[in-house]
Structure 1
Amino acid sequence: MLLLVLFPFLVVAQGYKLPKHQKFQKIKFELINNLILVPLQVNGVELTFVLDSGVSKPILFNLSDRDSVPINNVTEVTIRGLGDGEPMKALSSKGNKFTLGKAKNYNQDLYVVLDKGINFSTSLGIPVHGILGYDLFRDFIVEVNYHGKNIKLHNPALYDSNPKTKSQTLRMSIEKRKAYVEGIVLMSDSDDVPVKLLVDTGSSDALWLFHEPEKGLDIPEKHYEDYLGRGLSGDIFGKRTKVNGIKIGDFELKDAKAAFPYRKSFGHIKNFGDRNGSVGGEILKRFNIIFDYSRNQLTLKKNGNFKAPFQYNLAGIELQHNGLRYIAESLADSNGIVRNDDASFGNVQILLENKTRLSLVPEIIVSGIRAGSPAAEAGLLEGDVILAVNGKRVHQYKLQEVLKMLNDKEGKRIRVLIERYNRDLLFSFVLKKVF
């Protein structure tokens, strides 16, 4: 999960442009944990960034010893994002070249966070180097096709604004470089609460609401404490629940997943004004969306994800990558005959007497566990190394695929083989409905 908020900063004139007469640039993206991951060149270096409409300036982080990214005109600043940690030192850099397809910005400001603890790659399962947002949305009409996993960056001067079939265009306000839309939260069968929500593609969650009982936004009786994600300034916790529904325009999602984050995660924001929360990727992915900042318009069209059930952490386990480990693969079949194949997992292999292959693969560990959850009651602990789920060795799967195995459906029995203090242990539990 990712939702970042920065103080507004004064910037010099800059902008993205497409080649003359080119109407749009189409770019494929990866959708991981409801987040849009795009390939981006920063000063000629290929990186991966999250497209985050909730952030004002690009932020570069997760630089390893192997990364070499030249940056220009550097000064030191202090920034703060979501989370209950302290503000952090960062570098402010001006005059950088950003390239996204054929869209180029030759004068891009960015912030560089040097703290190695800021690393979202471990929880997403692939290297992620930063986030970008407002500047791209400001300079283009951005069409996000969540179902087809591509975006189109339209040249505003050449854009055909004819409405799409079965779509609806809503008013969107732009305040301090962030987009807001109005909606209605159905807190009960008879209690409809109008809300103003930050439109946040950088949040993997569904709906965040601020606890404001005087406005009708009280925490439902059925809820539990949950880890909601990580921001630049630390972990974010709150109350996980669901509401009867959320309406945006003429579209209504029933029994919507929701959370009430604790206020201390927003400690640096003194006044929310008339904002009541945010709408994130688990709701946004149900639409194909056109962001038109120049006209203050948001166009929504339902896609194939619209009726997909909301995803809850039924097992109560958080996972992350934790470096690398060796696994042994026998190259002989049950008759002792050595197979002649190249199938392996990992980029580094060692052959032992041509019968056993050691492969270096990512290690997946339990990074968090919810009190009272099925996994916790079964005896799983933070730090356990996951070896297999229901007989499937996890090194053959991506991190998000392993999480899906652990949260398949209510009533399913899950068997998890783990390593703890050099011992292999098998745990079993049944996935329970959270509400």
Structure 2
Amino acid sequence: MNSSKPSIHLKILCIALCCCLLTFKVFAQDFKFNNGRKAQTIPFDFVKGLIIIPLYFNDKGPFDFILDTGVNPMIVTDPTLKESLKVPYPRAIKISGYGNFEGIDAFLGATSVKIGESDAENIPTVFLKDDILPISGFLGKKIYGLIGYNFFNSFIVKVDYTNKTLKFSSHAKKIKLKGEKISFELIENKPYVNVNIDQEGIGNQVVKALVDCGASHSISLEALNGKAFPQPKFTMEANLGNGLTGRVKGRMGRINSLKIGNFKFNEVLSNYPEYNIDSIGNKGRNANLGAEILSRFNTIYDYQNRCMYIKKNERFGRPFEHDMSGIELYSESGPPSRTIVNKIEPESPADLAGLKENDEITAINFKKIDDYSLDDIGAMFKAKNGYSVIVEVWRNKAFHIKLLKLKKRI
């Protein structure tokens, strides 16, 4: 995985709403076509394994949102959007994050939303009061929030990672459902599937996993039999994500295999977040299945019939690799834009090369940093064990050249 990806491994937003679900049922609405359409296909941006689509609110936009099966209700992470939309009578609420007990201030309101030629009125929407999740900086693209259940429940949705397109069809339209059928259970309007894993020390296990296309990891193994999920012998300390309470700490390892339906993957990277019964143990799940697995299939989601259809694509056979540099990058919007070293992992190649937090990267391999996206840099930093990368940084009003030798650490 790439250099900036650790910040979104566990989940870009580790969130559980503490407000009354009955409120949502009062004004929750589905999306629908109002112009005689029965289906539409739109392109999406694919950044760090995540699906980004444009939304319009009250005829304003577009605003880029992450399409996320692990989210209900819709969440606006950019606090300026609430003011610009002039949402009427938002209700102050508290939401809890990963390990957070005091709660985070937010507002609950309702908005009219348009995606493509479909729209919905009075969509329940949570607006974070403060910008506590700098998603845009870690993706290198302005992101305003996340949308999930209301859209997926309204249509049969095909995510085509091959062509980077999203096709959504009304349930009245007859369509051919291609791929292997995987049944899921909807819990709090989020899909859960059974996944088979084989791991050193515990052998074969069937785990209940949240299907979470808004998380960029492969799988996060959280709990087993009411306790922290056992770990293999070799793991390494890692930053597994940024949640409402800051960094999610834990370790990273590998499992021997993961099987979903009849599809099997070997030597899969796995996350082991620090166990907290209030954040994990009471959710009745074992794991979180993320985009590093899901993006290897072109997938059709049929929430109404509680199933998904998966068909492997050209990404299926790629090896599971972790970042080999030890750098987490953050993009500051400009002008001018800046690419900043947000974190250096101790004893990593970046640490040994003398790179430091808050260094501004100005060039890589003698090519200006503006010529790269964060995805490009991430791919380079996990390219090959032993590969050398020349990094130019700006520090203390001077340029410094560092030779970074990549190393496979797990």
TM-score normalized with structure 1 length: 0.85
Q: Is the 8 A contact 1:6 1:55 kept in 2?
A: no
Is 1:432 equivalent to 2:386 in the alignment? no
Shift of residue 229, structure 1, vs aligned partner:
1.6
Structure 2 CA distance for partners of 1:190 and 1:92, relative to 1, 3 Å: closer
The answer to whether the 8 A contact 1:389-1:406 is kept is no
Question: Contact (CA 8 Å) 1:183, 1:194: kept in 2 or not?
Answer: yes
Q: 2:95 aligns with which of 51, 76, 79?
A: 79
Given the superposition, is the C-alpha separation of residues 400 and 5 from structure 1 closer, same or farther in structure 2, using an over 3 Å criterion?
same
Amino acid at match of 2:404: F
Residue equivalent to 2:258 = 246
Cα deviation, 1:321-359, whole Å, max 9, x if unaligned, reads: 1343xxxxxxxxxxxxxxxxxxxxxxxxxxxxxxxxxxx
Matches within 5 A, 1:166-245: 167-188=179-200, 191-212=203-224, 217-245=229-257
The match for 2:76 is 60
CA deviation map 1:262-319 (0-9, x unaligned): 124x74455132x111110111000011111111111110011101222311101000
Q: CA deviation at 1:364?
A: 0.6
1:65/1:145 CA distance change after superposition, 3 Å? closer
State how far apart, in whole Å, the 1-side matches of 2:174 and 2:92 are. 40
Shift of 1:217: 4.6
What do residues 340-394 of structure 1 show as CA deviations (whole Å, max 9, x unaligned)? xxxxxxxxxxxxxxxxxxxx43111100111121111222111111111121111
- Farther off after superposition, 289-298 or 205-214: 205-214
Deviation at 1:119, TM superposition (A): 2.1
- 1:383 paired with 2:358, answer yes
The equivalences for 1:72-111 within 5 A come to 72-82=88-98, 86-94=102-110, 96-111=111-126
Instruction: Give the match's secondary structure for 1:73.
Output: coil
Distance of aligned partners of 1:215 and 1:231 in 2 relative to their CA distance in 1, 3 Å threshold: closer
Q: 1:229 to 1:190 in 2, by over 3 A?
A: closer
Cα distance in 2, alignment partners of residues 86 and 383 from structure 1: 31
Instruction: Pick the aligned partner of 1:121 from 133, 136, 156.
Output: 136
How many residue pairs are counted as aligned between the two chains? 394
Cα distance change, pair 260–216 in 1 and its aligned pair in 2 (3 A): closer
Matched, 1:285 2:301: no
Q: Residues 5-404 of structure 1 correspond to what in structure 2 (within 5 A)?
A: 5-7=15-17, 9-10=21-22, 11=24, 12=26, 13-19=28-34, 21-46=36-61, 47-64=63-80, 68-82=84-98, 86-94=102-110, 96-160=111-175, 162-164=176-178, 167-188=179-200, 191-212=203-224, 217-264=229-276, 267-269=278-280, 271-273=282-284, 275-324=285-334, 360-404=335-379
AA aligned opposite 2:233: E
Aligned-partner Cα distance in 1 for 2:288–2:390: 36
Select the structure with the greater relative contact order (CA < 8 A; seq sep ≥ 6). Answer: 2
Q: Per the alignment, do residues 211 and 172 of structure 1 end up closer, same or farther by CA in structure 2, a change over 3 Å counting?
A: closer
Does the aligned pair in 2 maintain the 1:14–1:105 contact within 8 Å?
A: yes
Task: In structure 2, list runs of 5 or more residues that go unmatched.
Answer: 1-7
Q: CA 1:385/1:267 → structure 2, altered by over 3 Å: closer, same or farther?
A: farther
Alignment gaps of 5+ in structure 1: 325-359
Task: Tell me which residue corresponds to 1:332.
Answer: none
